[in-house]
């Protein structure tokens, strides 16, 4: 199957969960129009407290729907938007993409993957134990963060459920995603 968008979400307020929408509009260099995390500089409160002039590398949050399937098998009642993502995808291994990968969504929109979403303890406020459930360990003991990827908007446009996603890997050396 071809990668595609399953759901889109946004919230005007700083909330963990984001309500679903029929579509969202991405704005180049800023993020999701009308979302609390929209902007050229950081909007996540912990990052603003450290340095409000940092560039916003977390404009658009994407999560793979396969994570919801995995969590449901573990007894967690989760759904798109619940963990704060703007775009829920299917049939794309977001976590294995290299830094700088371009995701072309629909006919015009392009986002550039900047890093892994570092899950936070607010997840346990949604469902006790959820934070631990979205973390894993590699055979070598390295931590696996399963809560998707962050990106910046390269070319804006409207994104809707069922939009196809095309993956364009970066030129040259592929650098693994790091938490941002």
pLDDT given at position 154: 98
Where in the chain are the domains?
Answer: 4-168
Burial (CB < 10 A; 0-12, 13-18, 19+), residue 159, is buried
CATH topology assigned to domain 4-168: M1 Pyruvate Kinase; Domain 3 (2.40.33)
What pTM does this model have? 0.95
Q: Are 60 and 103 in contact (CB under 8 A)?
A: no
* Chain-centre distance for alpha carbon 30: 15
* Chain-centre distance for alpha carbon 90: 13
Asked whether the predicted pLDDT for residue 5 surpasses 80, the reply is: yes
* Strand, helix or coil for residue 18: coil
What DSSP string describes 161-174? Answer: TT-BEEEEPPSSS-
Q: How far apart are CA 90 and CA 149, in angstroms?
A: 14
Q: At 90, is the pLDDT very low, low, confident or very high (cuts 50, 70, 90)?
A: very high
Q: At 74, is the pLDDT very low, low, confident or very high (cuts 50, 70, 90)?
A: very high
């Amino acid at each position: 199957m071809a990668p595609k968008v399953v759901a889109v979400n946004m919230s005007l307020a700083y909330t963990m969960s984001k309500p679903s929408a029929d579509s969202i509009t991405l704005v180049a260099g800023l993020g999701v129009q009308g979302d609390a995390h929209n902007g050229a500089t950081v909007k996540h409160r912990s990052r603003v407290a450290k340095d409000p002039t940092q560039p916003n590398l977390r404009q658009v949050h994407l999560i793979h729907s396969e994570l919801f399937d995995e969590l449901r098998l573990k007894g967690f009642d989760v759904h798109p938007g619940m963990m704060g993502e703007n775009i829920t995808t299917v049939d794309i291994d977001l976590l294995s993409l290299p830094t700088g990968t371009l995701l072309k969504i629909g006919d015009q929109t392009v986002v550039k993957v900047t890093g892994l979403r570092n899950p936070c303890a607010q997840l346990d406020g949604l469902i006790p134990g959820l934070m631990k459930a979205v973390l894993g360990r590699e055979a070598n003991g390295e931590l696996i963060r399963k809560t998707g990827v962050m990106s910046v908007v390269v070319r804006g446009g409207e994104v809707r459920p069922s939009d196809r996603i095309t993956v364009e890997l970066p030129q040259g050396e592929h650098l693994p995603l790091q938490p941002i």
